[in-house]
Each structure stands twice: as structure tokens, then as C-alpha cells.
Chain A
Amino acid sequence: MKNIALGRYVPYDSFLHRLDPRTKLLSLIALMIMIFFKFSSTAMNFFIYALLLIFIYVLMRISHIKLKTLFKSLKAMWVMILFLLIINVLMPSTGPYFDIFGFKLYHNAIYNTLYIVIRLVMMIALTMILTTSTKPLDLTYALEWLLHPLKYIKVPVHEISMIISLALRFIPTLLEETERIMKAQSSRGVDFEQGKLKDKIRAIVSLIIPLFISAIQRSEELANAMEARGYDPSGQRTRYRKMQWQMKDALSLVFIVLLFGGMITLLVTSFDFFLMMGFVL
């Protein structure tokens, strides 16, 4: 039960773990955008994707994520990949094609499917790198920092961030509670594992109702405890956890900016190494 905790953080003393969460969040956003760039030729696209994949693999190595872990989380995607392939194959397209018994299988269909698959893999890998190397709470702080400007258009950024961090704090507590209620209901004869769908739904209801009641009671007591300790959401507070920009953050950000800038330049000038060489895939 405890294994399903969200955004599984794995404590480790790596370069990525030690980076400021804000650096990681900004870099993630920049990389996510880069993933969706599309260049003029197929060869160029694959070349850039290869570069990005190598870069992401290096990041994975640095943050001690095994390829196996990544593939495990990709398992559920097979159906989707197949579905995408079928859709793309059935779509009318242009260009060269294989002729399979009179059916035109366009090269472009295969390429398009590959693009989407590679993008998905990269997105999942990047998110994984972020959550493995950053504590959920630090991520909340980074998010609060990033959304900070929204305060001026009356978005309650601090409150949202407090809500998220409290939610994160109570995930293990509520999981424990769920387990306890399940045991209590099982001892009263509720069967959570077997039975018809109708019985299962009834079993789940017998779990959810007490869980909700207790969660609401908890939240009330929590609110009391917070108020009693002088919490005022609209008031000024100091911060215990200070985020500190360091040299490694600056260097990382410069690197990401250069990478981003380079990509944009390639995109704008439609520079294509492969077309210039007369190489067409």
C-alpha cells in the first residue's frame, strides 16, 4: 500500500538531487518544449531526437534511475502505441509508401507514430527524473516561486501551495487509515477481493464513507491546530526553508538556455545539415 505514494522520491546524493528545485522545474519546462520542435526533414528530426535521448539518458544515469524502472512505467503504453500506429496508418498521407497487397503503407505514417512514441518516452523520462530527484515539498516551493507573479492578479498562490504541501503530508496518514478501515470492515465480513461487481462496489462504499468522514474530521482538527499556532494565510510569514541559487544552478540554467537557443536558431533558420548533404530519408 505504501508503494503507491505519488511522485516517488528516491533519496540519493547526486548532482541532480542537489540542484535547486527551481532550476529543475525550469529546465523541465524548457526541455518539454524542445521535445515538441519539428524540423524540416525527417532525418533532422531523428537526429535531434537522438541527441535529446542521449542527454536524457545521461540525466537518468546521474540521478540513478535504471532503464528498467522507465520501461516498467512504459508498460501500460503498448496499447496506446498500437492504437496510434493504426490511426496513423489509416490516415491518408503523401510521399513514398510500401505496397502491401495493394494497401498503401506510407513511410510518413510510421515516422509520425515514431515521433509521438519518442516524445512520450522522453516526457515520462523527464518527469521521472524530476520526481525521483526532488522532494515533493521542494517541488511545491518551486511551483509557488514560479507562480508567484500570479499573485498580482489575485491568484492565492500561497494558499494553493500550502494546500498541496498539506495534501502531500497527509497521503501516508490517509493510506494508513484506509488500511485500518479495510481491516476493520473485513473483520465484519466485507470481502474486498472477491465477488461480483455489485458486491465489490458495495465493499468499496463501506470503505469510502468512513474514510471521508475521518478525513473531514481530521481537516477540521488540523485547521484548529494551525489557527491555534497563529497561522494566518493572508498575513506575513517568514520562511524556514530558503531556496538558495548556487553556482551549479547558474551553470545548469546557462546550459539549458544555450541548448534552447541553439534549437530555436536551427528552427528559425531552417538549417538542415542532412538536406544540405542531399540526404533524404
Chain B
Amino acid sequence: MKAIEIENLSFSYTKDQEVLKQLNLEIELGSHVCIIGHNGSGKSTLAKLIIGLLEAKSGSIKVMENEVNEKNIHTIREKVGIVFQNPDNQFIGSTVRDDIAFGLENRRIPQEKMDDVIDEFSKKVGMFDFLDQEPSNLSGGQKQRVALAGVLAMNPDILILDEATAMLDPKGRKEILTLVSKMKGDNPNLTIISITHDIEEAYLASRVVVLSDGKIMFDGIPNEVFSHYEELLNIDLDIPFLVRLKRELKNKGIDLDDALNEEEVVRRLCQ
């Protein structure tokens, strides 16, 4: 079984402009995939199509063998959780506690069990001490952590992060990314799809998909994708610092292409 199977997917908001063009994509269960692309490349649209907030023009999407359509929408939303970009606009409850409870209420979890779930997941994201706080007293990073707790409390198989760190300061961004890695460590079966234009985030994934103008441009492991240096620059994507460094070093005659991470580069340079 695949987590997500997308076949010949096309979508357009207006008649003359297609956002997604005959897209084909398969995502394995338990994998961590990063979808990157410049603004307007269709990456957020893809997320909304997967969770059924938008309807495909043609083609099909299957989430764990359930076709995304009107009939299956409840099943799909039980399997897929999504964290959006704006921390304020996805905070539904009046306090942290109520916000985490919102999803549970929709899921018809008995009221007696809710407190345990709320405690468990607020502890996981480090917001246990803030349970009775109102959103106006929280930072953006804290609100995103609450959103993450709210989604994870519903026990999804697939977690989509739709530019979840884009509006955060570097500290908040780092916190969220660490948290996501930790979640993945705790539950290796969780499929994570992170949609971002933060290139550093892409390095956390085991697979990177580059979208450009509604088509898949590159698809592979991060190192392989980022070796297409010029092409990525051409579609206005930033290049990770490490890749740039290796590139510059290579030009100077030091070949470190097979070094996997920062530490290894540092170690080899020191030799």
C-alpha cells in the first residue's frame, strides 16, 4: 500500500491557467518527503487537493487506497492531518486546551478521555504549561506547536506541513523542525510530507520533490536533487549552504561531493 498515489492530476483556479499539469506522484508509507518549489508552483494547491479542500479537474488522488472524493472525505481526513502556514488562522479554540480538543470533538472522542489525550500531546510539543493560555499570549512558534499537537492528537497516518514554518522566526522554525524529527523518531510509521521553500528543511527529508510550474522537475534524495545546481537557481530556488560550499570548494580543486553532512565536511577539511 502506498501512502499517496497521484495519477495525471490537473488543476486550475481560472480557465486559462493550469496550476498543476498532469502530475504523477507516489509517496511510500512511512517516508519523509519534502516538496519544494517557488511561489505559485502549485505546491500548496497539491496539499489542499490531497486533503480534499479543493476538487481536482482531472486525474485521481488516492490516500492509502481511498480515492479522494465527496464520499470518502471523512476517511481521508481521518488519515491525513495538515498544519497550515498562518499560526493565527488555524487556532480555533479560545485556549490551547480547547484548540487541541476541537479535533477530538469532531472525532467524537468521549469527553472523559479528552483530558488524557490533551495532556499527552501538549507534553509532546512542550506546551503543557500553557494549556489555559489564550492565543494572543502565545508566540507564533508556540501557536504552531499547538497546531501540531491538535493534528497529532487525532492520530493521523500522514502529516502534511504546508509551509508550517514560513511565518516563524528562526528560533520558532528550529523548534518546529526538531519537534517533527522527534515525532518521526517516536512513530516511524508516520508519513510526513513537508511543503516548503525553506531549503534547509528539505535536508531533513529522505526524498525531495521539486515542483516547477505544476510539473515535477526533480525527484530523488536531497544530495542528488541539489546537485542540479544551475537548474534550481534558474527556477528561483535557493541552494543549501552546504551544497554551495561544496561547489565553491570543488571549483578550487577540493572534491567533497561524497560528504553527507556538515560535520563530515568540517572533519575532511580539517584533515
| Cβ–Cβ contact B136 & A172, under 8 A | yes
29 A-B interface contacts by CB (under 8 A): A166-B92, A168-B94, A172-B134, A172-B135, A173-B88, A173-B135, A218-B89, A221-B84, A221-B89, A222-B90, A222-B92, A224-B48, A224-B84, A225-B89, A226-B102, A227-B53, A228-B77, A228-B81, A228-B82, A228-B84, A229-B92, A229-B102, A229-B150, A230-B106, A231-B102, A232-B74, A236-B108, A238-B108, A242-B111
- Proximity bits, A218-261, B CB within 8 Å = 1, else 0: 10011011111111100111111110000000000000000000
Determine whether the beta carbon of B108 is less than 8 Å from that of A237: yes
- Give a binary string over B69-111; 1 marks a CB under 8 Å from any A CB, 0 the rest: 0000010011001101010111111100110011111111111
User: Given the complex of chains A and B, what is the CA–CA distance between A218 and B136 in angstroms?
Assistant: 16
Report B230 CB to chain A, min CB distance, Å. Answer: 36
Cβ contact of A225, chosen from B74, B90, B98, B136, cutoff 8 A: B90
Closest chain-A Cβ to B265's Cβ sits at a distance in Å of 40
User: Which of A168, A218, A224, A238 has the most C-beta atoms of chain B within 10 angstroms of its own C-beta?
Assistant: A238
Report A-chain residues with C-beta under 8 Å of the C-beta of B84: 221, 224-225, 228
Tell me the complex Cα distance, A168–B135, Å. 12
Q: Which residues of B contact A230 (CB under 8 A)?
A: 74, 77-78, 103, 106-107, 154
**Is A137 on the interface with B (CB-CB < 8 A)?**
yes
Within 8 A of B (CB), among A148-193: 165-166, 168-169, 172-173, 176
B51 partner residues in chain A, CB cutoff 8 A: 228
* B113, closest chain A residue (CB): A238
Contact (Cβ within 8 A) A231 B88? no
Of the candidates A165, A222, A229, A240, the one having the most CB atoms from chain B within 10 angstroms of its own CB is A229
* Interface residues contributed by chain A, number (CB under 8 Å): 28
Q: Give the contacting residue for B151; candidates A218, A229, A231; CB below 8 A.
A: A229
Chain B residue contacts of A166, Cβ below 8 A: 92
Q: Is B6 an interface residue (CB 8 A)?
A: no
Known contacts A172-B136, A173-B135, A224-B53; A240 and B92 CB within 8 A of each other: no
**Which residues of B lie under 8 Å from residue A222 when comparing CB positions?**
89-90, 92
Chain B neighbourhood of A231, CB < 8 A: 102, 106
* B74: A residues at CB distance < 8 A: 230, 232
4 nearest CB pairs, A to B: A240-B101, A225-B90, A221-B89, A230-B106
Interface residue? B131 (CB, 8 A) = no
- Known: A238-B109, A241-B101; 14 extra A-B contacts, CB below 8 A, are A169-B93, A169-B94, A172-B134, A173-B136, A176-B136, A221-B90, A222-B90, A224-B53, A229-B77, A230-B74, A236-B108, A238-B105, A239-B111, A241-B98
CA distance A224 to B53 in the complex (A): 7
Number of chain B interface residues as a range? 35 or more
Inter-chain CA distance A228–B150, complex, in Å, is 11
Q: Does the CB pair B92–A239 fall under 8 Å? A: no
**A179 vs chain B, min Cβ distance (A):** 12
- With a cutoff of 8 Å between Cβ atoms, the chain B residues found around residue A169 in the complex are 91-94, 135
Distance between B10 CB and nearest chain A CB, rounded to angstroms: 21
**B179, CB-defined interface residue at 8 Å:** no
**Least distance between B256 CB and chain A CB atoms (Å):** 43
Evaluate contact between B89 and A226: CB separation under 8 angstroms: no
Q: Which residue in chain A gives the minimum CB-CB distance to B103?
A: A229
- CB-CB contacts of B32-56 with A at 8 A, as 1s and 0s? 0000000000000000100101000
Given the known interface contacts A137-B94, A227-B53, A229-B151, the answer about A237 and B105 at a Cβ–Cβ threshold of 8 Å is yes
| Cβ contacts under 8 Å, A225 to chain B | 84, 89-90, 92
Which residues of the other chain, B, contact A137 by a CB distance below 8 angstroms?
A: 94, 98
- The answer to whether B77 touches A218 (Cβ under 8 A) is no
- A18 to B102 CA separation, bound complex (whole angstroms): 24
CB-CB < 8 A to A242: which residues of B?
Answer: 111
B92 touches A237 (CB 8 A): no
- The CA-CA distance from A235 to B74 in the complex, in Å, is 11
Whole-angstrom distance between the alpha carbons of A39 and B61 in the complex? 73
Give chain A residues whose Cβ lies under 8 Å from the Cβ of B108.
Answer: 236-238
User: B114 at the A/B interface (Cβ < 8 Å)?
Assistant: yes
Determine the chain B residues whose CB is within 8 A of the CB of A224 once the complex forms. 48, 53, 84
Q: Across the interface, do A221 and B94 meet the contact criterion of CB distance under 8 Å? A: no
Closest to A171 in B: B136
Per a CB cutoff under 8 Å, which of A176, A238, A241 touches B104? A238
Question: Which of chain B's residues have a CB closer than 8 A to the CB of A227?
Answer: 53, 77
Q: How far apart are the CA atoms of A137 and B134 in the complex, in Å?
A: 12
From B88, B92, B106, A218 is in contact (CB under 8 Å) with: B88
Could you tell me the distance between the alpha carbons of A168 and B134 in the complex, rounded to whole angstroms?
12
**A228–B53 touching, CB < 8 Å:** yes
Which residues in A have their C-beta under 8 angstroms from that of B48? Answer: 224
